[in-house]
Chains A and B, each alone.
Chain A
Amino acid sequence: GENVEQHPSTLSVQEGDSAVIKCTYSDSASNYFPWYKQELGKRPQLIIDIRSNVGEKKDQRIAVTLNKTAKHFSLHITETQPEDSAVYFCAASPGVNSGYALNFGKGTSLLVTP
């Protein structure tokens, strides 16, 4: 089955700096890659996603890049703010062939200090 690895497990940055979280996946059939933000005691929230026919996608301060050949994708957050502090999860899905089941990484705890 699909195996998603995520690094780093913790990340501490100063407000205004950029943060990068990286994930690798094993199943070459995976074609959908969402990122979720989970604040303490809250539900995971979809913040951005990318499909395999796209190499990069941006939404204001967040962007995701995908390298299908190398089987890795990354989340980039620019101009970080204290409210970006949360646990971020990457996921991969083989899409319709698996009913879009998501395989998650173990998460990155991001701390943005003022």
Chain B
Amino acid sequence: DAGVTQSPTHLIKTRGQQVTLRCSPKSGHDTVSWYQQALGQGPQFIFQYYEEEERQRGNFPDRFSGHQFPNYSSELNVNALLLGDSALYLCASSSGYEQFFGPGTRLTVL
């Protein structure tokens, strides 16, 4: 049984571009949460998807959007990239309290 997987591993973009990150949850999990982890900081909650709907959202601008598919996998989209969007983007899957993280996507914005 594969755990949480994310793609791509690394990504380099320039300011103003758009990016899509992908996450496949652990088998049996129906909820996907996305977090942004800046260097030396704790993960910050972006939003959570359950039953293909955004259930909860953190303090992030509308440039950050997402989607969940019927197979529970999820995408995170970021438009109009800023230098400050450079971070490790983590997804976590769950079916209740416990959240299990993927390996993350390292996004660098130049």
Residues of A within 8 A of B (CB): 1, 6, 32, 34, 36, 42-46, 49, 51, 89, 91, 93, 95, 98-107
Residues of B within 8 Å of A91, CB to CB, are: 42
CA–CA, A101 to B104, complex, Å?
Answer: 18
Across the interface, name the chain A residue whose C-beta is closest to B43. Answer: A104
- Which listed residue, A51, A105, A106, touches B97 by the CB 8 Å rule? A51
- Contact B44 A99, beta carbon cutoff 8 Å: no
- Nearest CB in chain A to that of B3: its residue: A43
Q: Quick one: given A43-B104, A44-B101, A104-B44, are A98 and B90 in contact (CB under 8 Å)?
A: no
Query: How many residues does chain B have at the interface if contact means C-beta atoms less than 8 Å apart?
Result: 28
Does A104 contact B42, Cβ atoms closer than 8 Å? yes
How far is it, in angstroms, between the C-alpha of A101 and the C-alpha of B92 when the chains are bound? 10
Contact B97 A43 (CB under 8 A): no
Kindly provide the distance from the CB of B107 to the nearest chain A CB, expressed in whole angstroms. 15
B44's nearest neighbour on chain A, judged by CB, is A104
